[in-house]
């Protein structure tokens, strides 16, 4: 009985310690992003002959998502959606190179509130925008600013390990964004398969090998970061790998086709995620913020477009979304082709808002560092003598107002069923769903730059595009 007062005195101290022990420590979080990389171009998804051993090792130890989607297939709106948890119409960054609304709460603030140190190296937000997001430290967010990899490693090496706050480290590789390596001796162009919808020419294959080399360089950088993470962070670190949208290929980036919006997503979390798993759960990039927030012990806000899929990571759930919505507006005047899309478990519906415009991009309009006219010109030459090549080129430039694809039998989206009366009910249902979602989003379908009419398309071919751009540069001097 004499000991009771001492126990009674200690209870207020012991209870908080017991409760603290019941709550898992906030894990360190590492997010690694690549730039312009379609899902099928890395080994956990088949790879198409492209080697990514470091990502494969991460997938062997974690969970691979086969149906992960970005909000938009160009850099700025995709990354703004990631960092705000809101779709482009709701965060304000709809066109490429645009910014989210200044007053919106962004990624760092959520984790800083939980006690995290939040840092970004390389291309995490769009170019030169990291300083506007509130990171505790950031750097090297310029085109091909590869020093960001070493900066991230140096940061981890210098960071005190004892008593440090939990860390949210975001690292953005600039690979495989163009310009691609000039040479790719590690790849044989003749042995690399081309994406569906390509025209097979020697120059196309040479450029595909250069792209493959760029993907592998990004994987090398992933390996460097993973080695530093293993050295300097706790073993239970959560590592997430993904890409901001599809490859800069004619039906990839800037397109709402699967090659443009379906991206790799691999998550490793020792002790919480079973190694070597795969899931068909459909998730969106706007879901990443609330998911990592919940993993860190926070409560995701209800006003985000994203929803946590932590239950999928831990194996408590096998599904997440039943619909994925994606949007695209424009990339300056190089690509003015606004579109919206919805997909369910089997079907994809795309609405091209301005079908009277020609679809154009950096690939076909200009050469130099940011385009691939060197191979696209061979497509135009092939189209002049081969009806099949002409059909590919026609599809690239001219899109109908509506497209409907049965992804179960046509995953590469080669057969548009929108005009087939057998699928009229399916078309109408998805059309209605997209209408309702656009209204809910407050989507005003605003485009502030002039597109290129289909009637003028001849001027976009060899010489015409270069002459147009040269005239604009001369006028601007």
**pLDDT tens digit string along 62-91?**
999 999 999 999 999 999 999 999 999 999
**218 and 171 assigned to the same domain:** yes
pLDDT band for position 328 (cuts 50, 70, 90): very high
Quote the CA–CA distance of 298 and 292 in Å, as a whole number.
9
**51 and 106 assigned to the same domain:** yes
Taking 50 as the threshold, does the pLDDT of residue 397 lie above it?
Answer: yes
The separation between the first and the last C-alpha atoms of the chain, rounded to the nearest angstrom, is 93
**299 and 154 assigned to the same domain:** yes
DSSP state of 118: E
Quote the CA–CA distance of 325 and 405 in Å, as a whole number.
15
Least confident of 158-162, 228-232, 469-473: 469-473
Q: How many residues does the chain have?
A: 477
**342 and 263 assigned to the same domain:** no
Share of the chain above pLDDT 70, in %: 90
Evaluate whether residue 197 is within a structural domain. yes
Evaluate whether residue 115 is within a structural domain. yes
Least confident of 38-42, 106-110, 349-353, 472-476: 472-476
What is the pLDDT at residue 24? 52
CATH code (residue 334):
3.30.1120.10
Quote the CA–CA distance of 73 and 330 in Å, as a whole number.
10
CATH code (residue 44):
3.40.720.10
**360 and 437 assigned to the same domain:** yes
Evaluate whether residue 17 is within a structural domain. no
What average pLDDT does this structure show over 426-442? Answer: 98
**276 and 338 assigned to the same domain:** no
284: β partners: 69
**318 and 340 assigned to the same domain:** no
**240 and 369 assigned to the same domain:** no
Evaluate whether residue 380 is within a structural domain. yes
Q: SS3 for 409-440, per residue?
A: CCCCCCCCCCCCHHHHHHHHHHHHHHHHHHHH
Domain count, the chain: 2
**279 and 342 assigned to the same domain:** no
**292 and 396 assigned to the same domain:** no
**279 and 387 assigned to the same domain:** no
* Phi, then psi, of 265 in degrees rounded to 5: -145, 115
Least confident of 88-102, 154-168, 355-369, 430-444: 355-369
What average pLDDT does this structure show over 272-300? Answer: 98
What is the pLDDT at residue 155? 97
What average pLDDT does this structure show over 205-228? Answer: 98
pLDDT band for position 460 (cuts 50, 70, 90): low
Last residue in a domain, options 325, 359, 392: 325
What average pLDDT does this structure show over 222-243? Answer: 97
Evaluate whether residue 149 is within a structural domain. yes
- b (16+ CB within 10 A) / e for 383-401: beeeeebbebbebbbebee
**Cα 99 to Cα 91, 178, 180, distances in angstroms:** 8, 22, 26
What is the pLDDT at residue 16? 36
Taking 80 as the threshold, does the pLDDT of residue 288 lie above it?
Answer: yes
| Helix residue ranges per DSSP H, 302-423 | 310-314, 362-365, 373-383, 387-397
Helix (H) or strand (E) holding 464: helix 464-476
What average pLDDT does this structure show over 399-421? Answer: 98
What is the pLDDT at residue 142? 83
What is the pLDDT at residue 9? 29
Share of the chain above pLDDT 90, in %: 84
Count of alpha carbons within 13 Å of 438, Cβ hemisphere only? 20
Q: pLDDT tens for residues 361-394?
A: 999 986 555 678 999 999 999 999 999 999 999 9
* Phi, then psi, of 238 in degrees rounded to 5: -90, 120
C-beta separation of 96 from 74 below 8 A: yes
What is the pLDDT at residue 12? 34
Evaluate whether residue 6 is within a structural domain. no
Taking 50 as the threshold, does the pLDDT of residue 430 lie above it?
Answer: yes
The sign of the torsion formed by the CA atoms of 144, 150, 153, 158 equals negative
The chain-wide mean pLDDT, for the chain, equals 90
Q: pLDDT tens for residues 101-155?
A: 999 999 999 999 999 999 999 999 998 888 999 999 999 888 888 899 999 999 9
Contacts of 322 (CB under 8 A, 6+ apart): 282, 344, 345
Q: pLDDT tens for residues 11-44?
A: 333 333 333 333 358 999 999 999 999 999 999 9
Quote the CA–CA distance of 405 and 410 in Å, as a whole number.
7
Last residue in a domain, options 274, 307, 325: 325
Name the residue range of residue 179's domain: 26-325
C-beta separation of 287 from 307 below 8 A: yes
Last residue in a domain, options 306, 325, 344: 325
**181 and 267 assigned to the same domain:** yes
Contacts of 176 (CB under 8 A, 6+ apart): 34, 35, 36, 37, 211, 214, 215, 217, 218, 247
C-beta separation of 64 from 236 below 8 A: no
């Amino acid at each position: 009985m004499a000991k009771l007062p001492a126990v009674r005195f200690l209870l207020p101290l012991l209870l908080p310690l017991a409760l603290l022990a019941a709550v898992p420590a906030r894990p360190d979080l590492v997010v690694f992003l690549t730039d312009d990389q379609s899902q099928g171009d890395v080994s956990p998804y088949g790879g198409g002959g492209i080697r990514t051993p470091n990502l494969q090792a991460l997938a062997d130890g974690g969970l691979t998502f086969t149906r992960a989607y970005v909000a938009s297939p160009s850099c700025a709106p995709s990354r703004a959606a990631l960092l705000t948890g809101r779709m482009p119409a709701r965060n304000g960054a709809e066109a490429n190179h645009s910014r989210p609304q200044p007053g919106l709460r962004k990624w760092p603030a959520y984790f800083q509130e939980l006690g995290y140190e939040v840092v970004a190296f390389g291309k995490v937000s769009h170019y030169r925008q990291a300083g506007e997001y509130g990171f505790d430290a950031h750097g090297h967010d310029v085109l091909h600013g590869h020093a960001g990899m070493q900066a991230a490693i140096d940061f981890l090496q210098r960071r005190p390990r004892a008593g440090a706050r939990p860390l949210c480290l975001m690292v953005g590789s600039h690979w495989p964004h163009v310009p691609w390596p000039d040479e790719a001796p590690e790849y044989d162009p003749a042995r690399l398969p081309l994406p569906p919808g390509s025209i097979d020419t020697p120059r196309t294959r040479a450029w595909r090998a250069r792209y493959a080399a760029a993907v592998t360089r990004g994987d090398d950088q992933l390996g460097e970061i993973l080695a530093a993470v293993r050295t300097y962070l706790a073993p239970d670190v959560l590592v997430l790998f993904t890409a901001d949208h599809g490859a800069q290929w004619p039906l990839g980036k800037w397109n709402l086709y699967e090659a443009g919006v379906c991206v790799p997503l691999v998550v490793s979390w020792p002790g919480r995620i079973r190694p070597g798993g795969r899931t068909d759960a459909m998730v969106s990039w706007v879901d990443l913020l609330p998911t990592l927030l919940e993993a860190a012990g926070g409560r995701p806000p209800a006003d985000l477009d994203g929803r946590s899929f932590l239950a999928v990571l831990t194996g408590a759930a096998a599904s997440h979304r039943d619909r994925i919505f994606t949007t695209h507006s424009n990339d300056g005047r190089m690509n003015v082709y606004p579109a919206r899309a919805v997909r369910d478990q089997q079907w994809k519906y795309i609405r091209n808002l301005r079908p009277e415009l020609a679809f154009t991009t950096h690939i076909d309009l200009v050469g130099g560092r940011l385009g691939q006219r060197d191979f696209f010109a061979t497509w135009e030459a092939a189209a002049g003598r081969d009806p099949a090549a002409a059909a590919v080129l026609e599809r690239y430039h001219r899109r109908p107002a509506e497209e409907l694809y049965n992804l179960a039998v046509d995953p590469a989206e080669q057969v548009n069923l929108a005009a087939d009366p057998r699928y009229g009910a399916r078309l109408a249902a998805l059309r209605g769903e997209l209408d309702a979602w656009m209204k809910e989003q407050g989507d005003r379908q605003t485009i502030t730059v002039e597109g290129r009419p289909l009637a003028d398309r001849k001027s976009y071919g060899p010489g015409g595009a270069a002459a147009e751009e040269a005239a604009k540069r001369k006028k601007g001097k």
